[in-house]
């Protein structure tokens, strides 16, 4: 997958920017606040329908304007034109693919595969379990639209069940309400068991990719591992039945507290190196290596599983790494296809070798500056 051209109108600092890209390495150079990260943000937005920074549309919209637009021309076996359009007057965002409006994210995610590495990835290894679930869900969702649909169904059911539990707490139980809760339990256990099965399979399949990526970055013999812990450590067969039994056992407590207390929304993915918990015992260098390895593992996992080469995005990564890890990661850029890397000062990054198929783009004040 290659992004040939990107157009930004009233998107953050970019009033009207149009950039053509190389299908190799694209180095985006600029000072802080000049608009280089906004390019990464826009590309990820087009590929996933999601803003990875979590910013509301009103914040993204350039000050004083009424609409913003992002347009991208992608090429693989076929040409794909993607467009995001936001209207302040309507307070509504539209996504169009090849000129046709798309209303479901599931119809976009995975068709334009993308991998993003940023300094914020520290949350994956150092943050809460929800950060690790978010990472895993984002990888599987790009590989399997069926998983994404199951995840969406599960979250909707979870929300409906939580609403009922809150009503039961506030208004009391009745035979009809408990029968309704039984029905929600069945639906939740069905989709929840599917999620767990997907996550089990993913963990087993992903670990070899992680091992390979990790070895190449620090050049050491450390062994990374991911352990998937679900349903309070359950490890037997009959996941759906066990989940249902947990829901029955904790029903009174859930009603008393008015919320869901068990299920895949509580799952944990435990990262370790040589058998020791990364979160509890890992050095800063090990955390940074693990984070980068996760993303490169994601890249090659998606490439093999989907048959499409993802677009690789690295935002302000090299400033966070020591020289050895920076060199190792830069070597990956020679073999991944199209990559976008933001940096503030190219002169200090001589280890990044650019060739005839690469480009260096200078961004200043939301514009591409030629001739620097």
pTM of the entire structure?
0.93
Cα separation, 213 vs 219, whole angstroms = 10
Cα pseudo-dihedral 298, 303, 307, 311, rounded to 10? 100
Cα separation, 187 vs 14, whole angstroms = 46
Given a cut of 60, whether residue 327 has pLDDT beyond it is yes
Q: What are the angstrom distances between the C-alpha of 242 and each of 151, 197, 256? A: 19, 13, 22
Least confident of 21-25, 128-132, 162-166, 325-329: 325-329
Cα separation, 130 vs 123, whole angstroms = 9
Mean model confidence pLDDT for the chain: 93
CA-based radius of gyration for the chain: 23
DSSP letters of 114-144? EEEE-GGGHHHHHS-HHHHHHHHHHHHHHH-
Pick the CATH number of 121-307 from 3.30.450.20, 1.20.1050.90, 3.20.20.60, 4.10.95.10: 1.20.1050.90
Give span(s): CATH 1.20.1050.90, the chain.
121-307
Tell me, what's the pLDDT at 14? 96
- Compute CA 79 distance to the chain's CA centroid, rounded to the nearest angstrom: 24
3-class state of residue 9 by DSSP: strand
Q: What percent of the chain has pLDDT over 70?
A: 96
Q: What percent of the chain has pLDDT over 90?
A: 80
Q: Which residues pair with 341 in a beta bridge?
A: 27, 314
pLDDT digits (tens, 9 = 90+) for 287-307: 999 999 999 999 999 999 999
Cα separation, 82 vs 113, whole angstroms = 13
Banded model confidence at residue 370, pLDDT cuts 50, 70, 90: low
Give span(s): CATH 3.40.50.300, the chain.
1-113+309-372
Tell me, what's the pLDDT at 321? 76
DSSP letters of 253-277? HHHHHTS--SSGGG-EEEEEETTEE
Banded model confidence at residue 371, pLDDT cuts 50, 70, 90: very low
CB 33 within 8 A of CB 366: no
Q: Which residues pair with 83 in a beta bridge?
A: 71, 96
Cα pseudo-dihedral 234, 237, 238, 244, rounded to 10? 0
Q: Look at strands 268-273 and 224-229 and give their pairing.
A: antiparallel
Given a cut of 50, whether residue 188 has pLDDT beyond it is yes
CB 74 within 8 A of CB 7: no
pLDDT digits (tens, 9 = 90+) for 135-163: 999 999 999 999 999 999 999 999 999 99
pLDDT digits (tens, 9 = 90+) for 234-280: 987 899 999 999 999 999 999 999 999 999 999 999 999 999 999 99
User: What is the domain class of 1-113+309-372 according to CATH?
Assistant: alpha beta
Given a cut of 80, whether residue 356 has pLDDT beyond it is no
* DSSP code of residue 311: E
Average pLDDT over residues 53-73: 96
Given a cut of 70, whether residue 75 has pLDDT beyond it is yes
Cα separation, 46 vs 80, whole angstroms = 11
Least confident of 241-245, 339-343, 345-349: 345-349
Banded model confidence at residue 60, pLDDT cuts 50, 70, 90: very high
Q: Computed from CA positions of residues 163, 128, 343, 3, in that sequence, does the dihedral angle turn out positive or negative?
A: negative
Tell me, what's the pLDDT at 331? 83
Tell me, what's the pLDDT at 259? 97
């Amino acid at each position: 997958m290659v992004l040939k051209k990107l157009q930004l109108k009233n998107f953050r600092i970019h009033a009207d920017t149009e950039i053509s890209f190389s299908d190799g390495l694209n180095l985006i150079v600029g000072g802080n606040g000049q608009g280089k990260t906004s390019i990464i943000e826009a590309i990820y937005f087009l590929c996933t329908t999601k803003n990875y920074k979590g910013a509301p549309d009103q914040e993204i919209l350039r000050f004083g304007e009424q609409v913003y637009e992002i347009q991208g021309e992608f090429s693989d076996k076929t040409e794909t034109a993607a467009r995001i359009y936001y209207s302040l007057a309507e307070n509504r965002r539209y996504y169009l693919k090849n000129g046709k409006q798309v209303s479901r994210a599931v119809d976009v995610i995975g068709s334009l595969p993308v991998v993003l590495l940023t300094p914020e990835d520290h949350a994956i290894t150092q943050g809460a379990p929800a950060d690790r679930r978010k990472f895993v869900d984002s990888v599987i969702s790009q590989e399997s639209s069926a998983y994404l649909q199951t995840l969406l169904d599960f979250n909707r059911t979870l929300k409906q069940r939580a609403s009922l539990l809150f009503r039961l707490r506030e208004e009391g139980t009745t035979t009809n309400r408990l029968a309704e809760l039984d029905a929600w339990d069945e639906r939740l256990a069905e989709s929840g068991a599917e999620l767990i099965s997907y996550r089990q399979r993913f963990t087993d399949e992903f670990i070899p990719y992680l091992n390979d990526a990790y070895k190449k970055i620090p050049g050491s013999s450390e062994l990374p591992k991911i352990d998937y812990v679900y349903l309070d450590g359950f490890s037997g067969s009959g996941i759906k039945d066990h989940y249902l039994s947990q829901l029955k056992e904790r029903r009174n407590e859930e009603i008393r507290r008015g919320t869901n207390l068990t299920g895949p929304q509580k799952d944990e993915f435990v990262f370790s190196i040589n058998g020791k918990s990364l979160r509890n015992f890992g050095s800063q260098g090990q955390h940074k290596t693990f984070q980068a390895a996760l993303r490169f593992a994601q890249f090659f996992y998606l490439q093999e599983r989907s048959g499409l080469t993802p677009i690789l995005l690295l935002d302000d990564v090299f400033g966070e790494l020591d020289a050895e890890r920076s060199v190792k990661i830069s070597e990956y850029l020679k073999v991944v296809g199209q990559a976008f890397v933001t940096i503030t000062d190219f002169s200090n990054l001589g280890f990044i070798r650019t060739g005839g198929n690469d480009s260096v783009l200078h961004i200043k004040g939301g514009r591409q500056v030629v001739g620097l």
